[in-house]
Chains A and B, each alone.
Chain A
Amino acid sequence: MTTAVAERQRGIGGAISDLFFARPQLVTFLLLTPPLLWIGVVYIGSLFALLLQSFYSLDDFSGLVVHEFTLSTYAQLFEASNAQIILRTVTMAALVTVASAIIAFPIAYYAARYARGWTKALFYLAVMMPLWSSYLVKVYAWKLILAKEGIITWFANELHLRWLLDGILALPVVGGPSLSFSYLGTFLVFVYIWLPYMILPTQAALERVPANFIEASADLGADPRQTFRTVIFPLALPGIVAGSIFTFSLTLGDYIIPQIVGNSRLMIGQAVYTLQGTAGNIPLAAAFTVVPMLIMAVYLWMAKRMGAFDVL
């Protein structure tokens, strides 16, 4: 029997198989090298190229990039106008994250704890479809909704709530000439587009809460609110943090949503886009991108400590 097997294993395929069996690390190495080279060379290489550019500077007179090491480009980030762009973007990202978490939680909670059978499948699809469907189509849908002559204005007129809409638009900072030219509009679209990214990990975390924990909590005399506050919510938190990685990071870097729905004040993404494009100031654009990278590095580090990666 054993000789028969050994007989069949000869040949190049067999010899290689023997080698693979004897050295499993070799298999891992061979499998991992091509994709690692791709990510390493194409992606990480490009990131370093970008990082390098941020230490160059732009000559104000000639408009050419000076290829000498300097920190002056980073110093420009702290000029009032640029610092405002960063602060504005981070504030927006934080608000969008909080709002997404609040809207996502009931959906995730319902899907994880109450939906069964076909409703469970329905919930899953109902979250997956908007997550994967076209980004631009979704942004476009909101352009239609928020337009001055669009459906929100129509509803406000029909319900005799026009005063409310006008009152909201008249608010300082968040308001504007119409919803599609206001921070409020930008905020709504961000929340809409990134919401599924928050629902899925929150739901995954909630599904891992063991049912007997909840029963034990009830047996030990906790009312449903106490059980929620002391058992369910703390166990769901890593999921919310995992979701917030996406909502926060995606808001930090997006430049299309604030360009299509929003006022003329720039966010980091738009600043990067205009700096590298029309202005040709690659060093400052590169320095700008380091800001979300640093923020996300800190964010990911904290998220990892909270166990958020186990939910992804």
Chain B
Amino acid sequence: MSSKANRTTPLGLRISAIAGLLFLHLPLALIFLYAFTTEEKSFEFPPPGLTTKWFGVAWTSRPDIWPPLYLSLQVAAIATVLALIFGTLAAAALSRARFFGRETISLLFVLPIALPGIITGIALRSAFDIMSIPFSVWTIILGHATFCIVVVYNNAVARFRRLNGNLVEASMDLGANSFQTFRHVILPQIGTALLAGGMLAFALSFDEVIVTTFTAGQQTTLPIWMLSELIRPRQRPVTNVVAVFVFIVTLLPILAAYYLTREGEHTGGSSK
């Protein structure tokens, strides 16, 4: 902390770090640029001309965009609620107890994102086949909730670990029962972490395509719509307009989640 000399950054390190960050961000700028191009048959660079008409086209003359959008919103909302319930329960249990097999169980909850999505997808699909479950909104939700649990779990478990046990004991000593303690002491402290986890889960589900292609059957979510547009493009700039929209819809919850968990660091109830 004291040595000031260490703070001067080596130039090579600074350049490679900044180059790395540019590599991460510049490609996304092109998505925005191509939403305004006048060329709809190829990805010509630089765009021969700029126009805003594709936003109007996407809004008015492409009815094929709306049903997938509604389906995606519906799936993401329900999957998020399920993930919030199960993820919080799992985090509450695994952060407070020490018992045999605890490590294995926590690995179990991480497994759906540690294993490639295609395995989750085909496994669910073959299970639906075996049990003759027809594809529906619920088969999509089932898959999404399974990997969204991890996101909520990760967020919640970190906050539960920081939760000050003294506050819970104090609450009980003062006569509150378990439910009152949960409502008035625990929930206010984990609330922002849950909200953040829920938002990330929503963003993850809204955007998911790999598992969904296996559990959707003939249904089309917004990412599946986009995938088919990528493989068989029609009006390419319209796909860009939708891509910009999807980008913003997933970005806002992420920023909100970041903001919430940052604030949370100061209100963790840890006594100094």
Contact = CB atoms under 8 A, between A and B. Distances in A.
A211 B1 contact: yes
A260 B231 contact: yes
Interface in B69-114: 85-87, 89-90, 92-94, 96-97, 99, 105, 108-112, 114
B116 A144 contact: no
Given A31-B89, A35-B89, A128-B258, A137 B119 contact: no
Interface string A26-55: 011001101110111011111101100100
B239 A21 contact: no
Interface residues of A, number: 98
B180 interface: yes
B127 A140 contact: no
B89 A47 contact: no
B235 to A, nearest CB: 14
A282 B128 CA distance: 13
A102 B188 CA distance: 42
Nearest to A24: B97
B96 A28 contact: yes
A77 interface: no
Nearest to A149: B44
B27 A142 contact: yes
Contact of A46 (B21, B43, B127, B149): B127
Contacts of A302: none
28 contacts: A17-B177, A31-B89, A31-B92, A35-B90, A35-B149, A43-B112, A109-B13, A110-B14, A114-B13, A121-B262, A129-B25, A130-B28, A134-B243, A134-B246, A135-B223, A136-B243, A137-B28, A144-B31, A150-B43, A154-B46, A195-B23, A249-B116, A254-B210, A256-B210, A282-B126, A289-B123, A292-B116, A300-B114
Interface of B: 1, 3, 6-7, 9, 13-14, 16-17, 20-21, 23-25, 27-28, 30-31, 34, 42-46, 85-87, 89-90, 92-94, 96-97, 99, 105, 108-112, 114-120, 122-127, 129-130, 142, 145-146, 149, 172-173, 175, 177-180, 200, 203-204, 207-210, 213-214, 223, 226-227, 230-231, 239-240, 243, 246-247, 250-251, 254-255, 258, 262
The 3 A-B residue pairs with the shortest CB-CB distance in the complex, in nearest-first order: A253-B116, A31-B93, A110-B17
